[in-house]
């Protein structure tokens, strides 16, 4: 059940994070940015109304983001309780090392190549 709850909260947390990024990018910065508040005074919403809506939306989404973060931390802490060690795969006989280590035959060393003086060095 904890796995379903943490997955559900994680999906909601991700959606809130995406919405929060979008709302922040829509706000008018001092340089103009991607803001929606300028220009048409006869539109559905005035510049002041758009700024108030975006500010309020940012505040609500930030609060929800913090709430889901705390919820995820609590769910992760509760699922990390100590569990008993599974001994079903334990062997009954110990593993023994071979009596004599196996070694590969040594490869003969290759002779060094003879120096060639036929190519002059550039200065």
Highest mean predicted confidence (pLDDT) among 1-10, 25-34, 114-123: 1-10
Question: pTM (2 decimals)?
Answer: 0.53
In the chain, where does DSSP find H-type helix? 2-26, 47-79
If one compares 24 and 107, the residue with the highest pLDDT of the two is 24
What is the average pLDDT across 26-50? 60
Q: How far apart (Å, rounded) are the C-alpha atoms in residues 43 and 53?
A: 15
Share of the chain above pLDDT 90, in %: 29
- Condensed to tens digits (0 to 9), the pLDDT of residues 38-48 reads 555 445 566 66
- The first and second tokens of residue 11, run together, are 């999906």
Cβ distance 13 to 74 under 8 Å? no
pLDDT value at residue 41: 46
């Amino acid at each position: 059940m904890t796995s379903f709850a943490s997955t559900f909260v994680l999906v909601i947390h991700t959606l809130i994070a995406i919405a929060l990024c979008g709302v922040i990018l829509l706000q008018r910065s001092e340089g103009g940015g991607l803001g929606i508040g300028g220009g048409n005074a006869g539109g559905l919403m005035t510049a002041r109304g758009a700024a108030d809506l975006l500010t309020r939306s940012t505040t609500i989404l930030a609060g929800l983001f913090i709430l889901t973060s705390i919820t995820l931390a609590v769910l992760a802490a509760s699922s990390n309780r100590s569990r008993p060690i599974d001994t079903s795969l334990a062997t009954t006989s110990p593993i023994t090392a071979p009596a004599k280590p196996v070694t590969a035959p040594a490869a003969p060393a290759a002779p060094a190549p003879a120096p060639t003086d036929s190519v002059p060095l550039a200065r």
